[in-house]
Amino acid sequence: MSMVQGATGEWEMVIGLEVHAQVVSEAKLFSGAATDFGAEPNSQVSLVDAAMPGMLPVINEVCVHQAVRTGLGLKAEINLVSVFDRKNYFYPDLPAGYQISQFTRPIVGKGEIEIDLADGSSRTIGITRLHLEQDAGKSLHDQDPKRSFIDLNRSGVALMEIVSEPDMRSAEEAAAYLRKMRAILRYLGTCDGNMDEGSMRCDVNVSMRRLGDPLGTRCEIKNVNSIRFLQQAIEYEARRQVAILEDGGTIDQETRLFDSRKGETRTMRSKEEAHDYRYFPDPDLLPLELDADWVETLKADLPELPDEKKARFVEVFGITPYDAGILVAEQDRADYFEAVAEGRDAKLAANWMISELFGRLNKASLEIADSPVSAAALGELVDMIADDTISGRIAKEVFDEMVETGQGAGAIVEAKGLKQITDTGALETVVDEIIAGNPEQAEQFREGKQSVVGWFVGQAMKATQGKANPKAVNEILRKKLG
Ligand code: ADP
Ligand code: MG
């Protein structure tokens, strides 16, 4: 928990998130139209999505399947009976004049999610509910100087709205929540989690209170589409609210927008302007009834999720929970790690991935799927370090070359003659030369000045371009000078 310091004392931040996640499905929630991202405008619109008179929605079983699996992945109650409601409002991108959603009886009830924080600790955040709903179309205002156009490709696409309890207490926790949510959805294959394509976005609710007080009035910031913006919006909003409260004012419950260019939130509509959606059960759809055995089958078929994988990595590979958390954050990272670690020094493998591989990928703005170094190639490098063929320092140079050229470690070491010198004869010659050239330091060593050992090792490294095995040099030095 992090407190916000105001002029009159400390304030506690209270945050709840509503995540909209587009369901991975080839067809829409109530029609057979396609859902591909980036298609020609209005090329993926059925008569149902365009709300032609007399068209009837038909529930897509795949979307139900995905929502239930997501609920199970969030350790949530699955409601065997749920109801679709009409949420009525008028907007050009909503041709029917209502959105089909779930209001009083959602498909998924209470669940929870474990978030991992930077200090290595974890916290549980409550999930209130998950419901299925349709996405709306999109208004295009930048295509023509005088007219606006509508693209209905998104109209009717299935979304899961996942609502959290107001359990988060800092921007960092909210970011960790969104990250973990995205990881779980991706592991399940129920949402691709691509925030920049709009397939995952969130509304963030923020209020402030004195520690121990009841919940304060919240503001809701709509449609935040990156984790960085989420944190910025929360920090800004917290400061804005504290300033008002310390000034003796009150917070108006309102809907706000985050302006990412200015880093500010501003009013979109106040509570008084809030919509009355006149929810009522959609007469075109029967209540959705699920079979308990079917739900059990889906539960049994869930893949290993991030928390379980993390626990297994700690137990089987003996790496720290912190490192394991980083490695399981993305499925392909975890797969890569397992391929490198299998049958090798797993801690060394984890270190090389986290501090060397990720650093270089970051710099080149590459995802692990596009890594120029395969898991097998990194494995070969780790082997060469573990069996003393090359030193850790040389390995970093070799790795740079691997990233740049895609060549294997063995080939690079061979071509450049980078093998570590462990041959005692060769090292003795080097050490003899250094001792002969530096009688003063040799004398200091004999007089018991231990720190001069490091200096000698450094000289030996210099003379061998880093290829001397430091342990062997140390032993030879002690033998010759001791
Ligand atoms: P609405 O649909 O009007 O947004 P909900 O009851 O669905 O209302 O709540 C939306 C979100 O607001 C939830 O994630 C919840 O945790 C959060 N929330 C509720 N009260 C507060 C509060 N006082 N401070 C911060 N977040 C809150
Ligand atoms: Mg809301």
pLDDT in tens, the chain (482 residues): 578 898 888 999 999 999 999 999 999 999 999 999 999 999 999 999 999 999 999 999 999 999 999 999 999 999 999 999 999 999 999 999 999 999 999 999 999 999 999 888 899 999 999 999 999 999 999 999 999 999 999 999 999 999 999 999 999 999 999 999 999 999 999 999 999 999 999 999 999 999 999 999 999 999 999 999 999 999 999 999 999 999 999 999 999 999 999 999 999 888 777 778 999 999 999 999 999 999 999 999 999 999 999 999 999 999 999 999 999 999 999 999 999 999 999 999 999 999 999 999 999 899 899 999 999 999 999 999 988 888 888 899 999 999 999 888 888 888 887 787 777 788 888 888 888 888 888 888 888 787 888 888 888 888 888 888 878 888 888 888 77
Which residues have any ligand 1 atom within 6 Å of their CB? 14-18, 163-166, 205-207, 215-216, 218, 220
**Closest Cα to atom 22, ligand 1: which residue?**
218
Instruction: Let me know the angle formed at the C-alpha of 329 by 309 and 302, rounded to the nearest 5 degrees.
Output: 45
Separation of CA 282 and ligand 2 centre (Å): 21
- Near ion ligand 2, which residues have CB within 5 Å? 18
Ligand 1 atom at minimal distance to the Cα of residue 217? 23
Q: Would you list the domain boundaries of the chain?
A: 3-298, 304-416, 424-481
Cα 203 to ligand 2 centre (Å): 7
Cα–Cα distance, 385 to 395 (Å, whole number)? 7
**Predicted structure pTM score:** 0.88
Say how many Å lie between the CA of residue 16 and the centre of ligand 1: 6
Q: Which ligand is nearest to the CA of 274?
A: 1
Ligand 1 atom 5, closest CA: 163
Mutate to test the pocket of ligand 1, among 101, 129, 163 (most ligand atoms within 8 A of CB): 163
Q: What spacing in Å lies between the alpha carbon of 81 and ligand 2's midpoint? A: 23
User: Which residue's CA is the closest to the ligand 1 atom numbered 4?
Assistant: 220
Beta strands in 71-144 (DSSP E): 81-82, 85-88, 98-101, 111-116, 122-134, 138-140
The CATH code that applies to domain 424-481 is 1.10.10.410
Closest ligand 1 atom, residue 207 Cα: 24
